[in-house]
Structure 1
Amino acid sequence: MSANLCTESVAIIGSGPAGLITAYTLLVDGFSDVQILTRDSTAGGVWATERVYPGIQINNVHGEYRFSGLEMPPPAVGGGRLTGQDLNAYMQAFSAKFLQHAIRFDTEVINIRRDEATSIWFITVEDNNTSVREILEFSRVVLCTGGCSTPQIPEALSLAAAQRAGFTGPVVHSKHFATHLAPILEAVPAFSPEKEPKTIVVIGGGKSAQDMAAYLAKMGRKVSVVFGRTDAFLASPRPLPEFIRKSRLLSIMSGHVVLRSRLERFLHTTWLGSKMTQFFWSFLTKFSLGALDVSPTSPLYNVRSLFWSTSVNDEGVPHGDKFHMLVHAGKIRTITPARVQGFGSDGASLVLSNGQNIKADLVLLATGYSSSWTDIFDDATAEHVGLKRHAPDPHCESEHQWDYRSLRNHPSVFPKSGQWSLSIYNGIVPAKNIARRDFAINGAVYTTNVGYTWEVVAHWVSSYFLSDNMSIPTTPEDACPYAERDAAWIRRRYPDALERINESRSSVVAFWTWPQYTDQLLEEMGLQSMRSGGNWLTWPFKVIELKELSTLAVERRVRRGKRGGRLIAAQLG
C-alpha cells in the first residue's frame, strides 16, 4: 500500500470508461476507499454487456479508446476498426484486473445530497435485485454518468402517445435495443415473398439509427429510416495514415477557444489561412462522400457539416454490409428530409412532417438522451454545487467574440430562446464549488479521443482532490469567467450543438481539439504538455500515443515532493 494513503472515501457514479479510469487513478494515488456505484450488471457504461449488440461499430480506431495501463488486443474486424464487442471485452478486462472489488453493480443511485454543515455526501441507493434502499456516506463524489444513459423520448413518440393512438407494435429506444433484440426479431419476421412484409421504422439519422438499421437489414428485415439530416462522416478508400488520423492535424484545422500556436493563429485569423482551412474541410467532406459513393442526388447527401457539427462519424473504409452501402443497394429505405410528428390514428402508421403516413409495425427511437444529472441531485445540492442550467451571460457573449476569419459565414444558429449555459470550469468542476475540492466530473467533456482525454482528466481530478499545487482559479469569482467563456465558445463554434447534446456530455466541447484541451490540463498540473514532440515543422503530424501518459502518476508524485511508498497499482495488478 502507499505510504501516503488517503482514507477519505470517494464515490464514483457510473462504471463507464470515465468511471473506470477515474477509480483506477485515485487508487494508484493512494485513495484507499474508492467505490463505483452503477445500475448496470457489468462494467463499461455504453459498452456494458447488456447494451452491446452484434454489428455495432464505434467511431474510434485501435489505440484510441483505451487507457495507458492496459494494452488492447487488435480488433477482430480488419482495418483497425473497433466494434462494441471489442470495447466491451476491454472494459471487462480492465475492471477485472484493476477494480474487481471497487465496483458495486446493480445499484441504482436514487438521490445525491450534500449536508452543507458537515460537507458529507449522502447517496441514497437501491439494489436492483432486492429493491432494498440504503444511504451511503462519502467525503467526495466524482460524477461519471455520461450523456448516454437516460433516454430522451419526445412526448409525441412516447408509449403513452402510442397507447392513445391505439398503436399495437413495440416502441423501443436505442438504449434498450440489445436487451430487446430477440423480441424485435420475433415481432418482425424476415422478409418473405409469400407474406405481407412487416416494417421496422427507425427514427433518427445518427450513429445509433444507422447501426440498428444496418443490423436489421442484414437480418432480412424491412427497414425504413426517417431523419431530417444525417450525421457528417469521415471515410476513405483505405485506412487513413496515422500521421493524419492520430496526430494534431485535425485539431489544428478545427480552431480552439484559445489559439495556442503561431500556426493556429495563421490558419484561423488571416485571410489566406482561413481560405486554407475552408478548403481543407471542404476537400475532406467531398473526399468522404466520394469514398462512400454518396452523390448529390442521394438522400444521404443531406448531411450535417463536417466543420460546424459535433455529429460526426468515422466510417473508415467502405464495406458492403454497412449503412451507406445497404442504402445504395436498396436494402434500407430512407425518408428525408422529414420528421415523425406522431402515431397515426389507424394504429399502424406514423405521421410525418412532409404530409406522409408510413406503415410501421415496430418503432425504434434513436432520439438521443437527456441529462443523467437532473433526477439524481437534491435541488438544494444542485444549486449549492452549481450544476443547474442558466441563461447565457450576455456580458460574456459580448466580451468573447472570437473574430476568427475561419468562423465567418456560420450556419443558422440554434434559436436564442433555446440557448443555455453551464458554469463548469474545464468541464470538470462547477465554478461555484471550486474552492471545496469535494466534487468533480469526468466524462462530460465531448471529445473524439475518449481514452486519452478522460485519462488526463482523471489525473487532474486526483490532483485537485489531493490539493496539489495547480494553476487553477481558487475562488468561484475567479473560476466563473473561464467557465462562461467556454460555454460561450460552444455557442459560437458549434451553433446547433445545444439542440442535440445535454449537460452530461457538453460541459466542454473539445471535439477535434482534445489535444489542445489536454495540453491545458497538463500545464495546470505543472506537467509537460505537447508530449508527442516534434520540431517546428513536424509537430502537427506527430502521432499522439497513450504511452505518453503512463508516467503521469509518478510525475505528479515527484512534483508533489513526497517520497517513499509504493504505487498501489502494483497490488491492484
Structure 2
Amino acid sequence: METVDLVVIGTGWHGLVAAKTYLEVNPLADVVVLEAESSIGGVWAKHRLYHGLKSNNLLGTYEYSDFPMDPATFGVKPGEHIPGEVVQAYFEKYVEHFGFGDKIRLNSKVTSSEHQTDGSWLLTIAKSEGGSRSLLTRKLIVATGMTSQAFLPEFQGQESFQAPLFHCRDFLKYEKEVLQDGKRATIFGGTKSAWDAAYACATSGLQVDWVIRESGHGPTWMAPPFVTPLKKWLEKLVTTRFLTWFSPCIWGDADGYEGIRKFYHETWAGRKVVDAFWAILADDVIQLNGYDKDPETKKLKPWVDAFWIASSLSILNYPTDFFDYVRNGTIKVHIADITHLSANAVHLSTEEILPSDFLICSTGWKSTPPLKFLPEGIDVQLGLPWSTDPLDQDLVKRADEEILKRFPRLRDQPTTNPKYKPLSDNAEAAAPHPFRLARFMVPPSLIKERSIAFLGIAMTIDTAILAQTQALWATAYFNDKLSIVPTIKNPAGKDTAAADDYVSDLEWETALHTEFGKWRYPGGFGRRNPDFVFDAIPYVDMLLRDLGLKVHRKNGMIAEMFDPYGPEDYRGLIDEWKCVHE
C-alpha cells in the first residue's frame, strides 16, 4: 500500500497553497493532492463556470502574494471583476509556475479517512472507472471548504415537475438547455448565487421569477464595489486597520491595539461611535442601490442590519445595472414559500402559480465534509458540528458570558424573522454547535499528535490572504515548530502558559473563538463556522504571532492605521518564517 508524508484533499484556494507551502518548506516530502473532480479550482473548477460568472473581488485582491495576477498575462484590467475562467486559468498557471502538478491526482474522490493508532490516516479513494484504492498518509489537510456539497431541498410534487430542477452548482450542465430567449426561469433563494443566476437568465432574454422565502433570512446584502460618501473600494475598507476596530472581535487584541478596542466596545461613548459607523455604512449601500425608490427593488432590501452579517456580504459585479431588470419586470421578485410543484409550474404560499421551464435552487451547502471519518465516533474528537459537542458545556457557558461581558453590544441581538423555519431538518442551519477547532483549523483533542488540519472552514472575502497564512501555519504546526499554548486568563482565573495547563487553556480559547460567531454574526453562518469580514486581518495577525512573524507590516503608524492591507503586504512570508525558524 502506498504511504506518503502528506495528503491534501481539495484544489481550491486553500488546497493548492497548502500543498505549495508544505513543499516549499519540506522539498523532499512525498505529497499527494487529491481532487474529486476532473479539473482543479474548487468553486472555480471548469464544471462550475457558467455564463457570466465572475469574482466579487476586483483585480488585485484575489491572488496569492507570491503570484500576482498581472493584467498582461490574464487580460483583466485594474478595476475589473475577474471572470471565472480567468480564476481557473490562474490556478492552472500557479501550479505550473511552482511545479507541483505531478502531485495532483484528479478524479480521485476520498470517501473515507480512518484514524490509525499511530496518528496516521488511511484514506479510501473511489476510482473514476469503479472500485477503490487505499492510501496511508502521516499528515492530512482537509481543504474541501464550505461549498463542496450542494444542499438541494425536496419539494412536494417534484416528480411531476417535468422540467430541469437543479442546484446553482450545476448551472453549467444545463446552461445550453435553459438559457434560451423566450423561456421562463424560476430561481429559489436569496443568496449571491441567486442574484448571479437571475442576472444570467435575464440577460439571456428569459423572464425570471425569483422566489425568496418568506420563512427564510431574506435577500443578502449586495453592495456596489465602491461605497461610503468617499467612494472607497469595499474590499480595501475591510482590510483597513482603522476600520477593523469598529468590529467587536474576540481575537481582535492580536492586532496590538487593545486600548483602542476597549474604548470602542467596552465604553458607552465608544459603542455610540461604532453604531454610527455601521449605520452610515448600511445607509450608504441602501441609498446607492435605491431600494426604496421602487416597490419592486424594495423587495430586495436586506432584512438584517449590516452589522450582523459577514461573508454573505456580496458585491454587485455585473457589467450593467442589475436593478434595471427588476424595475422593468424582466425579473419579478416574489417573497413567498414554495408549497409544491406540478407540471412545469411552481406553486407559492401566496397562491400564485409560476409557469416554469426550469427551477434553479440557490439553497446553500451542507456543512459536512464530503467524506466519512472513521472509526465511528471520531467526529466528536474532530469537533465537527453535526456530532456531540466535544467541549464541556460549563466551559461553553463561561465563554458566552465572557463574550457578552467584553462586548455588551452583542447582547442586543437582531430580531429574527417570526416566520423563520429551516428548509429541512438536515439543512446547514440545523448544526447543533460550531466547528470546534483551535484557530479554526485543528481539533484540540488531537493537538499533540499534529496529524490533521482543516483549511478553508473560515469564510471571508479575504480568501487569498487567509488561505496562504493558514497554509504556512499548518505547515509549521505539522513540523512541530509552532506553539499555540496561549498565555491568557483561563476559566479558573489563572494566568499561565505552563505545559500542565496546555489542554485547558487551549480549550478555553477554542470555546471563546468558536462561540463568538453565534453572537457576532447571527445574520451569517456564525453558528456553524467562522464567518467574518472586518475581523479577517486581526485573525491573520493572530496566526502571524503564532508563527513568530511581524504583525504590523506597514511603513509607519499612519500607514498602519489607514493604508489597507492586501496580498502584497504578505509577500515573502514563507522566507521570513524560514529565516526565523530554520
1:181 to 175, 178, 191: 175
CA-CA distance at 1:287 after TM superposition = 1.3
CA-CA distance at 1:96 after TM superposition = 2.3
1:149-228 counterparts in 2 under 5 A? 149-156=148-155, 162-163=158-159, 166-185=160-179, 189-191=180-182, 198-228=183-213
2:472 to 459, 474, 484: 459
RMSD: 2.6
Q: Secondary structure at the match of 1:70?
A: coil
8 Å CA contact 2:209–2:333 kept in 1: the answer is yes
Amino acid at match of 2:327: H
Q: Tell me the alpha carbon deviations over residues 299-344 of structure 1, each in whole angstroms, 9 at most, x when there is no partner.
A: 1224442210125444358752x533321232211112x222332x
Instruction: Identify which range, 470-479 or 102-111, moves more after superposition.
Output: 470-479
2:340 to 332, 337, 342: 342
Going from structure 1 to structure 2, the CA distance change for 1:422 and 1:314 (only over 3 Å counts) comes to: closer
8 Å CA contact 2:125–2:133 kept in 1: the answer is yes
Give the aligned partner of residue 545 of structure 1: 566
CA-CA distance at 1:439 after TM superposition = 0.5
Q: Secondary structure at the match of 2:481?
A: coil
Q: Do structure 1's residue 240 and structure 2's residue 232 form an aligned pair?
A: yes
Give the aligned partner of residue 441 of structure 2: 428
8 Å CA contact 2:55–2:317 kept in 1: the answer is no
1:9 to 1, 5, 9: 5
What is the TM-score when the length of structure 2 is the normalising length?
Answer: 0.84
Give the aligned partner of residue 571 of structure 1: none
**How many angstroms apart in 2 are the aligned matches of 1:333 and 1:93?**
41
Going from structure 1 to structure 2, the CA distance change for 1:402 and 1:101 (only over 3 Å counts) comes to: farther
The answer for unaligned runs of 5 or more in structure 1 is 1-6, 192-197, 563-573
**How many angstroms apart in 1 are the aligned matches of 2:383 and 2:283?**
43
Q: Do structure 1's residue 401 and structure 2's residue 404 form an aligned pair?
A: yes
**How many angstroms apart in 1 are the aligned matches of 2:77 and 2:197?**
18
**How many angstroms apart in 2 are the aligned matches of 1:71 and 1:168?**
47
**How many angstroms apart in 1 are the aligned matches of 2:284 and 2:410?**
22
CA-CA distance at 1:534 after TM superposition = 3.3
Q: Do structure 1's residue 35 and structure 2's residue 32 form an aligned pair?
A: yes
The alignment-based identity, stated in percent, is 23
Q: Give the count of matched residue pairs.
A: 529
CA-CA distance at 1:78 after TM superposition = 6.4
Give the aligned partner of residue 3 of structure 1: none
1:173-572 counterparts in 2 under 5 A? 173-185=167-179, 189-191=180-182, 198-228=183-213, 229-235=218-224, 236=226, 240-241=232-233, 244=237, 246-260=239-253, 261=257, 262-295=259-292, 297=295, 298-310=298-310, 312-315=312-315, 319-320=319-320, 322-336=321-335, 338-343=336-341, 346-373=342-369, 375-378=371-374, 379-388=376-385, 389-391=387-389, 393-412=396-415, 419-472=432-485, 475-498=502-525, 502=528, 506=529, 508-535=530-557, 537-560=558-581, 562=582
Q: Secondary structure at the match of 1:510?
A: coil
8 Å CA contact 2:184–2:357 kept in 1: the answer is yes
CA-CA distance at 1:533 after TM superposition = 4.5
Q: Secondary structure at the match of 2:343?
A: coil
8 Å CA contact 2:18–2:468 kept in 1: the answer is yes
Going from structure 1 to structure 2, the CA distance change for 1:451 and 1:498 (only over 3 Å counts) comes to: closer
8 Å CA contact 2:168–2:361 kept in 1: the answer is yes
Amino acid at match of 1:544: Y
Going from structure 1 to structure 2, the CA distance change for 1:201 and 1:286 (only over 3 Å counts) comes to: same
The answer for unaligned runs of 5 or more in structure 2 is 422-428, 487-498
Going from structure 1 to structure 2, the CA distance change for 1:411 and 1:257 (only over 3 Å counts) comes to: same
**How many angstroms apart in 2 are the aligned matches of 1:469 and 1:417?**
35
**How many angstroms apart in 2 are the aligned matches of 1:73 and 1:468?**
34
Going from structure 1 to structure 2, the CA distance change for 1:420 and 1:18 (only over 3 Å counts) comes to: same
Amino acid at match of 1:154: P
Give the aligned partner of residue 493 of structure 2: none
1:105-120 counterparts in 2 under 5 A? 105-116=106-117, 118-120=118-120
**How many angstroms apart in 1 are the aligned matches of 2:57 and 2:452?**
30
**How many angstroms apart in 2 are the aligned matches of 1:286 and 1:53?**
33
8 Å CA contact 1:419–1:498 kept in 2: the answer is no
Amino acid at match of 2:397: P
**How many angstroms apart in 2 are the aligned matches of 1:533 and 1:217?**
47
Amino acid at match of 1:146: G
CA-CA distance at 1:21 after TM superposition = 0.5
**How many angstroms apart in 1 are the aligned matches of 2:122 and 2:473?**
24
Q: Secondary structure at the match of 1:454?
A: helix
**How many angstroms apart in 1 are the aligned matches of 2:270 and 2:559?**
18
Q: Tell me the alpha carbon deviations over residues 74-104 of structure 1, each in whole angstroms, 9 at most, x when there is no partner.
A: 3636633223233122112112222211110
What is the TM-score when the length of structure 1 is the normalising length?
Answer: 0.86
Going from structure 1 to structure 2, the CA distance change for 1:405 and 1:386 (only over 3 Å counts) comes to: closer
Amino acid at match of 1:377: F
8 Å CA contact 2:237–2:243 kept in 1: the answer is yes
Q: Secondary structure at the match of 2:359?
A: strand
Q: Tell me the alpha carbon deviations over residues 10-54 of structure 1, each in whole angstroms, 9 at most, x when there is no partner.
A: 000101110001001000001521111011211110011111122
**How many angstroms apart in 2 are the aligned matches of 1:85 and 1:56?**
8
Amino acid at match of 1:179: K
